[in-house]
Amino acid sequence: MVAENKIISQKLKPDFGQSRKIGLLVDDTCSLPEKIINDFQIEVVKIKLYFPEWDKFPEKNLYQVMKETKAGPKTSAPPPGDYLKAYKKILEKFEKALVITLSSKLSATYSSARQAKEFMPDPSKIEIFDSLAAASPEGLLALRASELIQEGKTLEEILKTLESLRERIKLFAFLKTTYWVEKIGRISSGQAAAFKVLKILGVQPMLGFKEGKVALTGFNFWTKDTFKALFYQLKRQGRKSGKLRMGINYSDNIELAYQLKEKVEKELAAEVAFISLVPPIVGANSGPGTIIAGCLPI
């Protein structure tokens, strides 16, 4: 499969000078780049992906293949056994394990993590945190947890901080088309028709998180341009929250992701922690053309 270009902020400099007691485990839906995963010594459990069409186009990424074939991938949560192996590996190195999962409202991943915990000799060594998020917002929570571990914070302190951040994290996304969500039955044909009418009128329906689910969170009325609409929402969020740390996910539009990075860094003084591909469990619903911005106040 084609390798993806991913960047991370130069400000992220892990330093585990002191003895580290907590290991961190995430699922790959958090979309953190490989360099962050390696530098912060994060263990990863992978969501299962079935997409045989991809084998025919190894030089393309997932969303380029979706666009060309009009076929979509199937995804499923990792089984408890995958988590069990990861727990054993982490607890060979560390005293405790912090597990961050994508939203329990979107996948059975959280349930798999909990089931596996009960098979461990001492389940009290494992703490599972439901991010109620996915994609770059989940990744930003995991990244902050890594930094807190590096700072020597206790597990209780880290969980308290994550619970606070979970209430303030934001996701902004605009669908290019309803073809994919309609194809897999996430919306009705009537809802899809309404969406198309709004787009024609220049109204951009905006997606975000509501209680752990991806939902309609508002409308952008003043431009048909997705890039401009996304930047406008980030600008508004910056005014409310102050300086932002961001993660950007792209599909078949990496150039647009880099343009957004440059614009928010220059005009909003935001910190873009990483750019990476939209994770498949999200992209199977949103399809090609999707660009996502997750942000946290810093």
Nearest CA to 246 among 35, 16, 34, 31? Answer: 31
Q: What span, in angstroms and rounded, lies between the C-alpha atoms of 277 and 257?
A: 10
How much is the pLDDT for 177? 79
Kindly list the structural domains of the chain, giving each domain's residue range(s) and its CATH number in brackets, ordered by start: 7-167 (3.40.50.10170), 170-297 (3.30.1180.10)
Using DSSP, state whether 186 is helix, strand or coil.
coil
Structure tokens given for 87: 């727990």
Q: Would you give the distance in Å from CA 96 to the centre of its chain?
A: 24
DSSP reduced 3-state for 216: strand
Cα 261 → chain centroid: 16
Task: Provide the residue-wise pLDDT of the chain in tens; the chain has 298 residues.
Answer: 444 556 566 566 666 555 789 999 999 999 999 999 999 999 999 999 999 999 889 899 899 999 899 998 899 999 999 999 999 999 999 999 999 999 999 999 999 999 999 999 999 999 999 999 999 999 999 999 999 999 999 999 999 999 999 999 999 998 777 788 777 666 677 777 877 788 778 788 888 888 898 877 888 887 778 899 899 999 999 999 999 999 999 998 899 999 999 999 999 999 999 999 999 888 888 889 889 999 999 8
Alpha carbon 206 to chain centroid distance? 17
Residue 2 has a pLDDT of: 42
Instruction: Please give the pLDDT value at position 180.
Output: 81
Among residues 209, 273, 270, 210, the alpha carbon closest in space to that of 238 is found at 270
